[in-house]
Each structure stands twice: as structure tokens, then as C-alpha cells.
A and B are shown apart, each in its own frame.
Chain A
Amino acid sequence: MGLWNRERTEDLGGSGSGERKWKPDGRPESGDKGQEESGVGTDWAERLQALWKMGLSRSRKLPEYITENVSEELIQLEDLVKVYDTGALKVLGLKRINLTIHRGEFVAIMGQSGSGKSTLMNILGCLDRPSMGHYYLDGVDVAAMNPDELSLIRNRKIGFVFQSFNLISRTSALKNVELPMTYARKGKRFREQRARTLLERVGLGKRAEHMPNELSGGQRQRVAIARALANDPPLLLADEPTGNLDTAASVEIMELFSQLHKEGTTVVVVTHEEEIAAFTERIIRFRDGEIVSDKPNVPREPEQKEAGPNEKGH
């Protein structure tokens, strides 16, 4: 279970001080990119040394907004607007959304087709940018970030699960799960070991070497979930993860999400089905790009057995 607790491992750095505050513009108050103030020596050699160290730390060390969990409000949307400009007419995807999701919540987003759920999820997942307003992810306004900074955020802070699985074809389940760790520059040994552990966790230990086209829909989605968890992100987003699956497979996936939620991950799931939403603790309903209801929910207990999905058959 060590993989699932919230303690940071490897190069993700010390998380000792949780109370560091961030300015609204998303940058830390002191120290650029989280490095120590380099003591400027009078001596040239000393100065060079300081520069050298700075260079080293810049290349090695990640910014603190990546390495540290800062805010109790994991997601904070302020007057968020998304306009799709399709030449002739402008479509309002989201109209002034205000929403806060706290660390550790398990949320369902529901609504009719075209109500803006995917639009919201894509913005939450830093795949798309809002047209107006602010999106604070863990206290940092991501609207101001450049594409590579957003890549870093997606890599470390967000796990995204798609309706259509989006596995990379002709690439084994194992390699698919390794991918986010590859982009995080993790070592080969570490990647493979963790990918195997994750695949075992989602009940696919024996399918590690299989290609996506050799797996069923439910199995593919479980590979995708394992992949989303690769860098142990605090936020898991799933846009209709059970949309292409039958009831049994859907229930398995949702039980997996419940389990992850219990272990501390913040989970946001988009769904059309009440039975799926029933697994969550909070249901937000959309209509025409607006939130029309936001209610807590008593989650349905996953049938009285202690078994996790890893003990289930394939």
C-alpha cells in the first residue's frame, strides 16, 4: 500500500512546510523557482560556484508548486468562462462557473449531453484553457502558464482517464503505464517496477506485456487508470470512464475509484448514469454550461466484501 499514501517519494522533494502561501498569480512569495537565495560572495570563484549551483538546482529541482501540496482547496474556479469561437458563431461552453473542490473529495459531474461537462473536465485537466476567469489548482493559477509548465502540471498533479481509453497502440500495457514516469524522467528500473505494481493493483498483473488491442474494454480502462496513477497525482479526473463499458465492468471501475478516494486521492468523475454517480460523495449537475445543483451524496457501499479489484478475475 506504500504506493498509495500521500507521502512524496523520490525526487519530488521534501514537503515539510505545508503552510507556504502563494500569491494569486500563482508564484511563490520568495525565491524564484524554489531555489535558495545564492549567497553572493565578493570572490569571483565563490560567485561562479554559486552560479554553478544555481544552474544545477535549476536543472534538477522542480518548482515548488509542483512538488508541494499547498492548498486545502485543490480546485478553485472563479468566474470561469469558456467560449468556443467557431468562426460564424460563438458557443458558450461554460458560463461563469464558481466551484471549489477540496482535497480528498469524490465528486460526480452530471448533466445532459452538451451541457459543458467535458469542457469543464478539459480545463480542470489543464488540457484546455479558460477564456476568462481563474482556475487555481492547488493554489496556483494555471491560466497564466505556458504549454510546457502545463505539461509538467499534467504530468505530476493530474491523472486523466478518458471515455475512449486513449492507450497508445502497438505499445504494451506496461509501457503505457510507464509513459508518464518516462516524461517525469524516472529511472528505467523504477518505472518498470512501479508500472507492474500498478497493473497488479488494477488486476492486470498478468497482462502487462499485452498490447491494447489484445485487451477488453474494461481491461483497457483499467490500464488507463493505472497509467493515470503512475506519478501518484493528487487529482484524478475521469470523463465518462464507464461510457464504453457494460455494467459489471463499470462497477469494477467505480469500485477502484472508491478505493483510490479512500486512500486520499481527489476523484472527479463525469457520468450520465445515476448508478455510477451513486458511488460518489458529491454530485454536481450541469445544464447549458451552468451549475444547477451541487449536493452531497451518501455513497453506495461497494457490495459487502473486502476484496479489491486485484483479487477479481480478468
Chain B
Amino acid sequence: MLIENMKMAFSAIRANKMRSFLTMLGIIIGIGSVISIVSIGDTMRSMFEGLYREIGVTQAYLFIGYWVDDVRQSDYFTLDEMERVKEVFGDQIAYIDSNSHASADAISGRTTVKFAFNGVDYNYQEVQPVNIVYGRYLNEGDVLGRRKNVVMDTTSAMNLFGVENAVGKTFRTTIYGTTEEYTVVGIYRKKLSPFQAMMMGANTEGGEAFLPYTILTWPNDYFYALRIFARDEATMDVFYNNVKAYVAKSKGRQPEDFRLNSAKDEMGQMDSIMGGLAAAVGGIAAISLLVGGIGIMNIMLVSVTERTREIGIRKSLGARTRDIMIQFLTESAILSACGGVVGILLGGGLVMIGGALLGVQAIVKPGVVLLAVGFSAMVGIFFGIYPASKAAKKDPIEALRYE
């Protein structure tokens, strides 16, 4: 019976192709935009997640809160304190450093390039692996001995020295007022997706390099924040709370006085921004679905009037109220679901094509697709109820007499 009804519905839709198509348009646009927005959101989310994975999701910065008015000297960190944190939390810490950065001009011969220096420990590559192509990474000796050695990427090397393999080459730079000569000990190659390149900014002119963090904390060994990578992602929240509590206590502060900036929280913020965006566009899509649904109701009312005689014939052959009702509901549901399917193909297709053009793997979730088809069918059923009940209530003899 259901299959019979579906066949009838398809033949009725086929009998009025143009009209059916125009009616579906509202649903097509509504579902199409829902699918594309949701898919764009999913795609962006997965890209950001990839980005944060690259940066390290277990990463966090701990520093004195900006809301604290009476910042004291003791609120900053020293290398000794960092060592104590390392001892207390031991294995739970995958990596820790002083989060020291510096920006300075690097000069090699006639070339001057603005460089961003990132002060790291020798085991930084365990949490942020890089692909060393020439030379070596920083080692323990570099860090403990405050040796003026750096590791940079191929692009930076090209910008500064005009060659990729710059191992052994030197440049001069001024950090905290002291100009020194630095030696390149290693070169790595970045592999960035186009999206990451877009988000991080293409590095065509400047340069960046890793150097021992001990150089940047020199000479006073005070620093503003701790950069920590937790060992275990699952328990990192508890771990960071413990770290915060420990640090606050050791400085005679309340834990609330310290701020903990974790990559995971930032990711969550990103998600909620995206969620808000999706909700806004979702509202617009809902309105277009509403309009589409009203279009379906309208055309079904026309169809019911046109087919009054058919309804009369069916009733004369024994169709009950329910039979007629279901027949027309099936038709409006299928009409709407067809619009939904076309909308999905259109919206999903657009996202796929856009993704391909941007070099990004677009994500169209099957669950979302199923939901969209189901929802459009529901719209059809909802807006089909009135026309269908109008059809079902027709008096057989009146309907048969209808010209």
C-alpha cells in the first residue's frame, strides 16, 4: 500500500514536472543552505582541530591574571621555580619552558630579515616534531651552555641566506640590547596545508627560528609565563588545576589570581563562535524551509481541487478517509523530500567543489544528510496535512459530479 502510494505520488509529480520543480525550489534552497552551512562548519571545525593538534592540544600557558592589581616581583617566574614545578609534577609534564619569544632583525652580509625567535628546550621537538632536513636540532648542551645556536626552516634560510642548506652559516642579531653572532645548526622543512598557511600567514619575507630558551631568559632569569604541555590529554584539566594551585600557593596567591590559557579552551571558543554562526544561518534556512513548506501546501491545495474527480472515483471504489489522506500526505512528503535530496546534492556539491578549489577536504556528514531528507519529508507532511484532510473529507457524490 505504501509502495503503491509512493508510485502514485511519483507519477503525479512527474505529470507536472515544471510545477513540481518550482514548488520544490523553496525546499531546495532551504535544505541546500542548511547542508552547505553545516558542512562548512564541520569542515572548518575539523581544520581548526587539525591546526590545534599541530600546535598541541595539551598545551597551556600559566601567568598572573591581568585583573590582579598589585602585581609583585614574585608573581613572575624564575628558572629555579620552573625546575621545582618539573620535580613536583614529574612525569605528568611532557614539556615545560619559559615561553620566551623575541623579535629582532637578523643580518647576514647585506641581507636583513626580521626574525621571530622562539626560545625552547632541547626536547621541544618531542611535543612539536619538526622535519629536520639538514644538520641537527638543539641539544641539551646548547640549552645548558646558552650557546648561540639556532634551528630554522627552509623558507627562513632562503630569505636570509639565499640557500636552503644554511647549516654552519652565521648571522648577527640584537637581543635585549646585546648584539651577538649566531650559528645555524639545523634546518627543517615545514609542511603546511593551504588552510594552515592561510591562517598562520604566508612567510614570504620574514623568518623564524628556535634558539635555547636560556638565552632569552638571560640575564635576569625572570619570565612572565610558563608554557607547559601535559602528558595526558584525558586528565589535563585536573593536572592544570593542580599546577595552578601549586604555583599560586608557592607565591602566596589564590589560584583565581592566575590565568591558565589552554589550547583546548581556545578551541572550544572557536567551536562556540562557529556554533553561533551556524545558528544564525540556520534561522535563515528555517525561514526558507517555512516558505518552501507553504509553497507545497499551496500546490497541494491546487492538486486536490484539480483531482476532485479522481478522489470521487477512488472513494466510489472503496477508498476510506485514511486512504485518501495517506495518498496525498505521501505525495507532499515525497515532493518535499525530492526537494531535500536536490538541495543536498546542490549544497553538498557546492561545498565539495569549494573545498577542492581551496585544497581542503570538505566534510559532508551522512548523518546530516539523512537528517535533512527526514526533515524535508517532515515539512512536506506537516504542510500536507491540511490539503490532504481537505481531500479526504470530500463527499464521494459531490466529488464525482465535479467538473
Could you list which residues of chain A lie within 8 angstroms of chain B, going by C-beta atoms?
122, 125, 127-128, 147-148, 151-152, 154-156, 160, 162, 166-171, 179-180, 182-185, 227, 231
Residues of A close to B1: CB separation below 8 A: 182, 185
Contact A180 B318 (CB under 8 A): yes
Count A-B contacts at CB 8 Å: 61
Q: From B4, B397, B400, give the contact of A166 (CB < 8 A).
A: B400
B residues 301-359 with Cβ under 8 Å of A? 309-310, 312-323
Contact A168 B4 (CB under 8 A): no
Contact A180 B15 (CB under 8 A): no
Residues of B close to A148: CB separation below 8 A: 320-322
Residues of B close to A127: CB separation below 8 A: 315-316, 396-397, 400
Shortest Cβ distance from residue B328 to the other chain A in the assembled complex, whole angstroms: 15
Contact B318 A156 (CB under 8 A): yes
Say if the beta carbon of B139 comes within 8 Å of chain A.
no
User: How far apart are the CA atoms of A127 and B317 in the complex, in Å?
Assistant: 10
Contact A182 B397 (CB under 8 A): no
Say if the beta carbon of B11 comes within 8 Å of chain A.
yes
- Asked, given contacts A128-B397, A152-B320, A183-B318, whether A168 binds B313 with beta carbons under 8 Å apart, the answer is yes
Residues of A close to B4: CB separation below 8 A: 182
Contact B317 A180 (CB under 8 A): yes
User: How far apart are the CA atoms of A242 and B319 in the complex, in Å?
Assistant: 26
User: How far apart are the CA atoms of A179 and B313 in the complex, in Å?
Assistant: 10
Shortest Cβ distance from residue B89 to the other chain A in the assembled complex, whole angstroms: 64
Q: From B310, B318, B321, give the contact of A154 (CB < 8 A).
A: B318
> Please, could you name 15 A-B residue pairs with CB atoms under 8 Å apart, sorted by A?
A122-B397, A151-B321, A154-B316, A154-B317, A160-B316, A166-B312, A166-B316, A170-B11, A179-B317, A180-B318, A183-B318, A183-B320, A183-B323, A184-B318, A231-B318
Q: Closest B-chain residue to A156, C-beta based?
A: B318
Residues of B close to A184: CB separation below 8 A: 318
Shortest Cβ distance from residue B325 to the other chain A in the assembled complex, whole angstroms: 11
Residues of A close to B314: CB separation below 8 A: 168, 179, 183
Residues of B close to A180: CB separation below 8 A: 317-318
Contact A183 B319 (CB under 8 A): yes
Shortest Cβ distance from residue A11 to the other chain B in the assembled complex, whole angstroms: 15
- Asked, given contacts A168-B310, A170-B11, A182-B4, whether A155 binds B318 with beta carbons under 8 Å apart, the answer is yes
Contact B318 A152 (CB under 8 A): yes
With A147-B321, A166-B309, A166-B312 known, 19 other A-B pairs at CB within 8 A are: A125-B316, A127-B315, A127-B397, A147-B320, A148-B321, A151-B315, A151-B319, A151-B320, A152-B320, A160-B316, A166-B313, A166-B316, A170-B11, A170-B15, A179-B317, A182-B1, A182-B4, A183-B323, A185-B1
Residues of A close to B322: CB separation below 8 A: 148
Residues of A close to B400: CB separation below 8 A: 127, 162, 166
User: How far apart are the CA atoms of A30 and B221 in the complex, in Å?
Assistant: 103
Q: From A122, A155, A169, give the contact of B317 (CB < 8 A).
A: A155
Residues of A close to B317: CB separation below 8 A: 154-155, 160, 179-180, 183, 227
User: How far apart are the CA atoms of A171 and B318 in the complex, in Å?
Assistant: 17
Which 7 residue pairs across A and B have the least CB separation, nearest first?
A155-B318, A183-B318, A151-B320, A128-B397, A127-B397, A148-B320, A180-B317
Q: Closest B-chain residue to A169, C-beta based?
A: B310
Residues of B close to A122: CB separation below 8 A: 397
User: How far apart are the CA atoms of A152 and B318 in the complex, in Å?
Assistant: 6
Counting chain A CB atoms within 10 Å of each CB, the highest count among B315, B316, B318, B322 belongs to: B318
